[in-house]
Structure 1
Amino acid sequence: MKLSITLLLCFFAFNVSAVQKAVTEEGDIVILNGDGTWLYEDDKASRDIEINTNPTVFNKPTNSKFVLKSKKNNSAFALNTKEWAFVKSKSDDAAIEYNLGLKAGDLYGMAITERIEIELEKLVEIAFDNAREAAPDTKVVKKEYRVVNGMKLIYMEMIGTMKGIKFKYMGYYFSDSSGSTQFVVYTGASLVNKYKTEINNLLNGFSVQ
């Protein structure tokens, strides 16, 4: 099953053309990028990063007092409204239930919710595969289990290039009997350190009702 996901399109506002593919003499399928570079389609190196467990216990920041609740599953997202603005989807069937933006910076977030439960490890694979459709050079640079507000989930960082812009995409991936959730933050790769505190504070506001 392939989840609906809009990877960075609302941030970069670019139309992504169909991925060009070719077959080598050895029978391997390769993806051809617009800049003349290519990579093997079955490049599992970044997908198969070992998932270790981070021993740190992550909790909601004390100043994240406003809570957005999903209408599709039990997910909830606490945030500081002095720092963050949000827009709720007008469609009950939209994959992105909430779009978020840092009021004083170029940092963005999305709450992607589904009503169906998906195996956690499979959920992050789907997210990675969908990211590579938009940016074929996308790689997973970090993946780990975390306990956030009492819930075990996966944290994943992906980095890639779209139309010459290097982006970084960081998020929490969670699933239970009420459905699955991808709560993610994204910005230009060079800005991640600048917004490290804001990124962590937003993500750690994730919980279940």
Structure 2
Amino acid sequence: MSDDVLSRLIAVLRISRAEIRAAYRVGSRVYGTAGPGSDEDFLVVLGKSGQRQDLAFAEGLNVVIHGVATFQDALDDQSVFALECHFAQPAHVLVAARPPFRYTLDRKKLAASAIGKSTADWQKAKKRFADEPAPSRKKAFHALRVPVFALQVAKTGKITDYAAANHFLAELREGPDDDFAWYEKKLGPTREALCAELTKLGGKR
């Protein structure tokens, strides 16, 4: 990972390198779905005591900020987004956590977390689709990607393939701009099946 990227994050966040406990690239450039105009997305964990979860933005740059406690809480809560960072491939790790954060798989909690996030994103996509079709397609993609990643963790203990849900985005891009029912018919049952499989795995110890 380029030192230039880390330097830019330090400048945007107005912090010192010593304040960063961990930093990861996230989003479309990790999944392999980024286009020429896609923003760069990162998650940064700051070591500052009492640091709350926050967001920061600059031109073409989006940063999710965590403190050590909030990021550990996210892992304990089985947040798929936090797990994407925890299992990130070396190429997407700007600063590796030392010591590493703790993670213990809890399939039941993982299923509940992922299904809740997937359902919320799907409903947001449906609600906003008529006014914002492009962002809503992205939200619907997240609703499908989250259970796909959660299933990888439930089955293997980690995220093994960050491109596993990309074919859903290609399907979403084929749909109309004025009818969310098309998406519900084409991909709604798939999302429900993924969530049902997660629920089943959540009952296993």
The bucket for the TM-score relative to the shorter chain is under 0.3
Instruction: Decide which structure has greater helix share.
Output: 2
Q: TM-score, normalised by structure 2?
A: 0.22
Q: TM-score, normalised by structure 1?
A: 0.22
